[in-house]
Structure 1
Amino acid sequence: MKIAFIYDAVYPWVKGGAEKRVYELAKRLAQRGNEVHWYSIGWWWPENGKKDMVIDGIHLHGVSNPINLYSDDRRSIKEALLFALKLFTPIMKEKFDVVDCQGFPFFSCFTAKIHSMTGKSRLIITLHEVWGDYWYEYLGKLGIFGKFIERTMLGLTDNLITVSYKTQKDLREIKKSEKSIVIPNGIDFNHIQSIKPSEEISDIIFAGRLIKEKNVDILIKSIQIVKQKIPNVRCMIVGDGPERSKLEELSFNLKIQDNIEFMGFTENYNDLIGYMKSSSVFVLPSIREGFGIVVIEANACGLPVVVVNHKMNAAVDLVQDGINGFKADALPEDIADKIIKSIENKEKMESKCIDNSEEYDWNKIVDALEKVYMEIL
């Protein structure tokens, strides 16, 4: 097959769940003899000046110079529109069996639709989240425009993939007759198993962007409670973002700065996995996750994971209470209770955590994706 992915951010220049998903799937599809292309912002241009390049068998096509993806800590509408416009000319020159366009940031899906209307491809849209009424919480009254564009995008094709059952459920509340299929995110299971634990030992670990929605402040407050039972408890926070200074200040105000280490952003993926392997429990206090791939990564390291019950959190579907982790309310007291349970039961839960994660190996995920492509064709 000749396959094109469309997404404005490319791994490893941009490190996020959606970028990693496209990269891992595209790489494996190429290894299986498919011709795989990826249209994106040209993040590599400053390094080598080439618009197009090949990485791990994937033909990368840069449609513009690097552009800031975020404006005031939100995805930039200007960038999304510019990417959709810049995408038009290069993609219209080619014909593909399927074009798999990531649903966010919306506007590029309309460009991909035009391409399919000319008979040059079959359009598939992969949805990482469906926001619906959450648009009003995100943008206030202006949320009506986001909601309208999202609904319009969902009507561009009947070939819809969702990365979680939570997103599929949200989609069906908007588009009653849709027939989407769930193709989850994954991990490189064997690679994770090969990595050795770090010498940096901690009881609790969090990894992610330090933004308000991640609720890391609730995690820090829960550490103060955990400390009452485990005085020398150590928490490692891996990541960076606009909330970091506030979180560091909070740890000082609660007088637990000696129990929490802010590691900053970790460039090397193996280092992150090493940190997980030298910990006892992973805590993801976020209230909004489109999937929560870090849950599977932590499970693959043998760690139970504490996640927060919330209607916008797809990571909840990845955890079975007492099996590979615990579900908690977004309250310091409840998270602290689940942290202590995880630490106490880590050895008993370890094998179940690893077994659960193996089901999400990328090779199994790409089997399912390739089958969907063939059925659409």
Structure 2
Amino acid sequence: MKILIITEYFPGSENCDIKGGVEARAFYLAKNLAKKHDVTVITSFDAGTLQNETISGINVIRCGKKRKYSQGGSFIDRLSFIFSAIKMGKRLDTDIVDGYNFISYIISYKISKFLHVPRVATYHDVWLGEWVTNVGLINGLMGELLERYVLSKKWDKFIAVSNYTKQKLKNKGICEDNISVIYNGIDLEKYTNSNTKEDNSICYVGRLVKYKKVDDLIKAVEIIKKDISGIKLNIIGSGPEEKNLKKIVIEKNLENNVKFLGFLKSHSEVMNYLKRAKLFSLPSIVEGFGMVTIEAVAAETPYVNSKIPPTVEITQNGVGGLVYEPENIAQLSECLKTLLEDDDLYLQKQFECKNLSKNYDWKELSNILEHEYLKIISK
């Protein structure tokens, strides 16, 4: 097959130094598919990368103005990418086009329509009716309009990253027969070494935005500190809430307990922190999948996550960690404290992590995707 993947961002090397779950999915599935098929990725022209290159057997074409990574705003740069990517894609010879995020859906639709080939939308979450709540008024209205446009178009297939996302698509009128579920995964080979855990350490990885509820995690650390004075929280990521979160840390005298590491460019560096942490925590109230939870599980780092549908689904309701009622800070702190103090339970959860991670191997997931593409093309 000749496969064209459209994703707003893509790694600049085989080291896969990624910034989020969308580009991780794009990279690893493309890498595995490229072993048997001709795979091309159209992505934005990230600063410090080459415009045309081959990475892990993938033909990578970068379009638009050179830009820095941004998950919000950057309207001019994004428009430049959209128009440039559509123009480039129309010149290619491909059998199928797969869009990986909201910006790339428009591009995928336009290219596939011009080339008369099947089109796929890989969907991570459905925010229709939730955009303004999740990202604010201006970005929210733009997202709302864009998603309404995307869902109004005819797609040969929606690929949802979870059954939770599939259900949300069905709720918005997408036919169940037109939705397949293929989970996100991990490169299990990167997690084969045993890891030394740092006592009383917790790690958070993700964007610093309101719906991630990192403030709840900081407030939980304040409670735990009363019994475990050496409690440590490493916060990896950046975002609009960073200033507010740092203010909370100062107000609660937690400067010696909470460390902001910012955005780490090297994914391997992020994984090293995750591997060394005693616990991982994702207190978010909005997720489409929660890929970093699976990475923590593969690193045999038990988690304490909010009990939202995607987490319940991918962890089989708490295998490998503990879940608590969203925004219940007292329950969050109690779960964290329990796993830090109960050695037998901690070892049990580590054992569960090892077995659960086997369900999320990119190699197996790429085989499922390959089969799905072949079915779509043969129609």
TM-score, length basis structure 2: 0.88
Return the alpha-carbon distance in structure 2 between the equivalents of residues 142 and 283 of structure 1. 27
- Deviations 1:188-242 (Å, cap 9, x if unpaired)? 11211237447x6552111122232221111010011112232322222223333
Counterpart in the other structure of 2:368: 368
Distance 1:114 1:352, change over 3 A: same
- Deviations 1:26-57 (Å, cap 9, x if unpaired)? 111112x211101111226x555xx3111111
* Equivalent residues in 2 for 1:99-118, closer than 5 Å: 99-105=97-103, 108-118=104-114
* Equivalent residues in 2 for 1:223-238, closer than 5 Å: 223-238=221-236
Return the alpha-carbon distance in structure 1 between the equivalents of residues 222 and 55 of structure 2. 46
Query: Which stretches in structure 1 are left out of the alignment for 5+ residues?
Result: none
Which residue of the other structure, out of 15, 20, 23, is the alignment partner of 1:19? 23
* Equivalent residues in 2 for 1:61-140, closer than 5 Å: 61-68=61-68, 70=70, 74-105=72-103, 108-137=104-133, 138-140=135-137
Distance 1:35 1:253, change over 3 A: same
Which residue of the other structure, out of 27, 32, 46, is the alignment partner of 1:28? 32
Counterpart in the other structure of 2:147: 150
- Deviations 1:129-182 (Å, cap 9, x if unpaired)? 111110242454985664343133123313110111111111000124242011
Counterpart in the other structure of 2:334: 337
Counterpart in the other structure of 1:9: 9
Return the alpha-carbon distance in structure 1 between the equivalents of residues 140 and 241 of structure 2. 24
Alpha carbons 2:64, 2:82 under 8 Å: kept: no
Alpha-carbon shift at residue 186 of structure 1 (Å): 0.5
Alpha-carbon shift at residue 341 of structure 1 (Å): 2.5
Matched residue of 2:53: which SS?
strand
Distance 1:63 1:269, change over 3 A: closer
Matched residue of 1:22: which SS?
helix
Counterpart in the other structure of 1:43: 46
Alpha-carbon shift at residue 66 of structure 1 (Å): 1.9
Matched residue of 1:170: which SS?
helix
TM-score, length basis structure 1: 0.88
Query: Which stretches in structure 2 are left out of the alignment for 5+ residues?
Result: none
Matched residue of 2:66: which SS?
coil
Return the alpha-carbon distance in structure 1 between the equivalents of residues 336 and 298 of structure 2. 18
Alpha carbons 1:307, 1:316 under 8 Å: kept: no
Counterpart in the other structure of 1:328: 324
Matched residue of 2:281: which SS?
strand
Return the alpha-carbon distance in structure 2 between the equivalents of residues 165 and 112 of structure 1. 23
Return the alpha-carbon distance in structure 1 between the equivalents of residues 143 and 353 of structure 2. 38
The amino acid across from 1:151 in the alignment is: R
Counterpart in the other structure of 2:353: 353
